[in-house]
């Protein structure tokens, strides 16, 4: 009962897209998701609006209808839920994968916290949003430090330090300031990140210029304490009063899991898992990467909209190897 043609690890939009392609091809497949359906999107800020249009987020040839051109988090959750249910996609939620081993017959044995499976092929579609890039400073484990932003309401009237200067950090700084927080930003570089969206940049720069939001450039966090934060800037070390730290320092793939799956990870700056960019097959035969995990640490390179073909590309490879398609 636990033998499959294909196991898909990750139940986000990419994993669901791969599942749709597998179902259309008649493969016996299963999606294993460690958390809830489209787990990463659920943990986006409550009031978030996507930068992408709803049309660019569509998968499975299923229209994504939203109230405006750019959908909200809530609309995306509803879209992917209805997609999973309408296609009756086979998804096991809250079932983290523990490890994977290749058997003598070439199939893969996959162990989760709940069960064991075997599959001829595996797709790893684990994304990167679930693993924050840590600052590795004393006090980072204090309850007041958040690596995920939820909503501005908890920070009303509080002294908030936002770390970072990309889209998320600027959005968080503006939203919390608008709701009544006393906002300070600690920014490693000498300016706001050059890739900040054009409709965000003037707002954050004007708030900094007028002094509504305090920004320390060329500044890093040295230590986080219960009521203050120690920063280091061009003029040396200094301390500011603080109630909450919102560390918008970015995210990375779950390299611990990728290692337990047996994937080869180069020891370089980008740490892109070894794979063929054309077929998406890794150094493990019949094991494929799909979605943003293909970019490794270059997390701004790939998105849902430019990886939507990964499912069909991989399923084509699997079918060709099974002899159900003529290669080429």
For the chain, which domains are there? 3-131+251-322 (3.50.50.60), 145-247 (3.50.50.60)
Q: Are 85 and 109 in contact (CB under 8 A)?
A: no
pLDDT recorded at residue 324: 60
pLDDT recorded at residue 327: 39
pLDDT recorded at residue 328: 39
Structure tokens at 45: 């800020």
- CA triple 291-3-122, angle to 5 deg: 20
Positions in the chain short of pLDDT 70: 1, 324-328
Cβ neighbours, 10 Å, residue 37: 21
Strands 3-9 and 91-92: unpaired
Q: Are 18 and 125 in contact (CB under 8 A)?
A: yes
Q: Report how far residue 10's alpha carbon sits from residue 299's, in angstroms, rounded to the nearest whole number.
A: 17
pTM: predicted TM-score of the whole model, two decimal places: 0.89
pLDDT recorded at residue 239: 98
Rg of the chain (C-alpha set)? 22
Closest CA to 147 of 224, 216, 69, 61: 224
pLDDT recorded at residue 301: 83
pLDDT recorded at residue 1: 64
């Amino acid at each position: 009962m636990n033998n499959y043609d294909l196991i898909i690890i990750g139940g986000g939009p990419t994993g669901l897209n791969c599942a749709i392609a597998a179902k259309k091809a008649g493969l016996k497949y299963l999606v294993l998701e460690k958390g809830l359906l489209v787990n990463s999107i659920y943990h986006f800020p409550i009031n978030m609006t996507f930068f992408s249009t709803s049309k660019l987020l569509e998968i499975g040839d299923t229209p994504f209808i939203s109230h405006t051109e750019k959908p909200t988090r809530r609309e995306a959750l509803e879209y992917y839920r209805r997609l999973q249910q309408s296609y009756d996609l086979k998804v096991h939620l809250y079932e983290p994968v523990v490890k994977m081993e290749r058997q003598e017959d070439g199939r893969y044995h996959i162990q989760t916290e709940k069960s064991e499976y075997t599959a001829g092929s595996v797709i790893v579609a684990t994304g990167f949003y679930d693993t924050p890039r840590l600052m590795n400073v004393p006090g980072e484990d204090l309850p007041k430090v958040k690596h995920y932003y939820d909503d501005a309401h908890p920070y009303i009237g509080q002294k908030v330090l936002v770390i970072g200067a990309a889209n998320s950090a600027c959005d968080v700084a503006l939203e919390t300031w608008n709701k009544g927080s006393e906002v300070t930003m600690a920014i490693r570089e000498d300016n706001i990140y050059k890739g900040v969206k054009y409709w965000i940049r003037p707002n954050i720069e004007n708030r900094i210029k007028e002094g509504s939001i305090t920004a320390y450039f060329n500044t890093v966090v040295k230590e986080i304490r219960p009521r203050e934060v120690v920063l280091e800037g061009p003029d040396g070390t200094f301390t500011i009063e603080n109630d909450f730290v919102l560390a918008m320092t970015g995210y990375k793939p779950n390299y611990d899991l990728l290692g337990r799956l047996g994937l080869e990870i180069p020891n370089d700056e980008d740490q892109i898992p070894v794979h063929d960019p054309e077929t998406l097959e890794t150094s493990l035969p019949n094991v494929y990467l799909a979605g943003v995990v293909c970019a490794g640490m270059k997390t701004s390179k790939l998105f849902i909209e430019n990886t939507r073909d990964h499912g069909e590309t991989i399923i084509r490879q699997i079918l060709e190897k099974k002899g159900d398609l003529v290669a080429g």
